[in-house]
């Protein structure tokens, strides 16, 4: 394993321990102790902790110790997403994801309709076809993959790399949420219809229609969540 990957793996392991409540008093052991526990060098632990400090997960009080930052103040998307996935019902994360998606994906659909190359249209059509086939086979995993690929393609189709970069760390959490909801056959059918509407608007190169179609999709996603998941 490369040094960079080892540092990342150590940081990830420390986040896992934070989420597991291993540091109940909020204080981390010293670097030497953590190095022994993680089976890595002190330098690796130091670099991992520096990264976690920059991401707002821990704070270092020089001469005092290293402490876990309260989760509501974290600035790292991956750490926040991993925390939210601990919710056994996923109710909080599902609602929050829809809020974030509304803020980003409606505008992304508009930009995609205005800017994307024809190759994006072909990929979007392929994703919808895969969703239809997976729905017929009740293949939830394939359905979710095609669903998320559809949205990833729209983000890429904006031509703005920042848009896709913002969403990338949230993909595992989105997969978690969509797998939960897409296990319901009615939700799969609703999703296919909404995705087709978004696709039609983008194919027509109509940004306003694409924005309306994505708004409709987010509205339907919210209704399905409330009706089929949260009400139970």
pLDDT computed for residue 81 by the predictor: 72
Q: What stretch of H or E contains 215?
A: helix 207-224
pLDDT computed for residue 50 by the predictor: 92
Q: What is the pLDDT of residues 160-203, one digit of tens each?
A: 999 988 888 788 878 877 888 898 999 999 999 999 999 999 99
Rounded to whole angstroms, the Cα distance separating 198 from 120 reads 13
109: confidence class by pLDDT, cuts 50, 70, 90: very high
114 in the same domain as 48: no
Last residue of a domain, one of 75, 95, 123: 75
The tokens 């994006």 sit on which residue? 120
54: pLDDT strictly greater than 60: yes
pLDDT computed for residue 89 by the predictor: 53
Tell me, what CATH number does 64's domain have?
A: 1.10.10.10
Which residue would you say has higher pLDDT here, 161 or 5? 161
Last residue of a domain, one of 16, 40, 75: 75
Q: What is the pTM of this model?
A: 0.75
Q: Return the structure tokens found at 204.
A: 């027509």
Nearest to 27 by CA among 61, 56, 72, 50: 61
User: Domain count of the chain?
Assistant: 2
Q: Assess if residue 80 is contained within a domain.
A: no
Neighbours of 131 (CB within 10 A): 24
**Ramachandran area for residue 39 (φ above 0: left; ψ -120 to 50: alpha; else beta):** left
Q: Assess if residue 27 is contained within a domain.
A: yes
Domain residue limits at 56 = 3-75
91 in the same domain as 68: no
Tell me, what CATH number does 221's domain have?
A: 1.20.120.530
132: pLDDT strictly greater than 80: yes
Q: Assess if residue 33 is contained within a domain.
A: yes
Last residue of a domain, one of 75, 103, 127: 75
Q: What's the rounded mean pLDDT across residues 23-52? A: 90
């Amino acid at each position: 394993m490369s040094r960079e990957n080892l540092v990342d793996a150590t940081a990830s392991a420390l986040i896992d321990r934070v989420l597991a409540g291993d540091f109940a008093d909020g204080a981390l052991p010293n670097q030497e102790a953590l190095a022994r526990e993680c089976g890595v060098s002190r330098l690796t632990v130091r670099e991992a902790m520096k990264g976690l400090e920059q991401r707002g997960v821990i704070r270092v009080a020089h001469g005092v110790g290293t402490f876990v930052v309260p989760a509501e103040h974290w600035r790292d998307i991956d750490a926040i997403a991993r925390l939210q996935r601990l919710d056994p019902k996923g109710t909080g994360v599902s609602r929050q994801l829809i809020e974030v998606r509304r803020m980003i994906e409606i505008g992304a659909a508009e930009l995609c309709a205005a800017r994307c190359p024809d190759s994006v249209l072909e990929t979007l059509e392929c994703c919808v076809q895969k969703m239809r086939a997976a729905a017929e086979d009740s293949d939830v995993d394939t359905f979710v993959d095609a669903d998320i690929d559809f949205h990833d393609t729209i983000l890429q189709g904006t031509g703005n790399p920042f848009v896709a970069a913002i969403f990338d760390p949230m993909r595992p959490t989105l997969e978690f949420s969509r797998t939960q909801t897409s296990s319901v056959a009615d939700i799969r059918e609703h999703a296919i219809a909404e995705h087709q509407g978004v696709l039609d608007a983008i194919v027509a190169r109509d940004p306003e229609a694409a924005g309306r179609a994505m708004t409709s999709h987010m509205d339907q996603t919210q209704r399905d969540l409330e009706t089929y998941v949260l009400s139970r």
